[in-house]
Amino acid sequence: MIVVGRFVCGFLAGVASPTAQIYISEVSSPSIRGRLASLTGVFLTTGVLGAYSFGAFLNWKQLSFVAITFPALLGLFAIVIPESPVWYIMKKRDDSALNSLKRLRGRDTDLHGEFKIKKENSERIESKPNITLRSLTDPKFWKPLAISSMLMIFQQLSGNLAVVFNTVAIFESTGSTLNPAISSIVTGSVMVISGIAVTFLIDKAGRKILLLLSSAGMAVSLSILGTYFYMQENSDQCPPTHKKGKKNEGMTPTKDPLKPTVTMQGENASLSAASQQNSGICPFNPPA
């Protein structure tokens, strides 16, 4: 049941993610589009922080019930929000598109200029030939596709999610006197603060410089973390919690067949799964 639930959760999060990004880009004004798109990352890290916080004193079943309230609220709000005006224009329903813009911008706002631009953009897109496999040989198609795909591939292969989902265990292994659950909450708070900072910098500093800075920071941080664990495994000078052949003192066995064979303090494995459920409500995608 857990595997099926995780599959369904991941599948639906994958459906919601691009849909939300497309909707934001179609209903937002150009002046704030970058900031609104970057809020996805803020909400993702807020979800992780929430899972860390609740996971410090809830078991995985209770945490799952807490996390399910957020997609439920998303479904309720999705019923009342207006349809995308761009979608209406594509379906040749200009009156509905104008009414949708009025709901989004206010009925006293002059929307004819914006409506005209959206309509012209839609007509220009429709006038272009359909994209086929042959189109991928054209640099204007394969270059953006290759850049965006490699960005996401390298991001997923960087190991940052492994760190996020095992933060409690990582802090436990250091032998720190600070409660690992509290350490994880502090880490989640830093992620939220960084995400909020990006919303103010995304339109001023530009996308490329932020991407370079964040990539460099991740490379340095993960290299230090990897070096630490390598030294921990191969040196007698490091805390022995994860040394080969030795029992991890920060772990305790559990008899519950629904839980992992080994449970970390703060129910780390359960926290990890639930944190992805919670943060998966608005997965991060780099703004276009």
Q: What is the CA radius of gyration of the chain?
A: 23
What's the pLDDT at 252? 35
Q: Among residues 284, 282, 280, 274, which one has the least CA distance to residue 53? A: 274
Give the chain's residues under pLDDT 50: 241-288
Confidence at residue 237, expressed as pLDDT on a 0 to 100 scale: 54
For residue 281, the model assigns a pLDDT of 35
The pLDDT of residue 280 is: 38
Question: What pLDDT was estimated at residue 236?
Answer: 60
pLDDT digits (tens, 9 = 90+) for 130-156: 777 777 777 878 888 888 888 888 887
pLDDT of residue 142: 84
What does the chain come to in residues?
288
Full-model pTM: 0.62
pLDDT at 239: 52
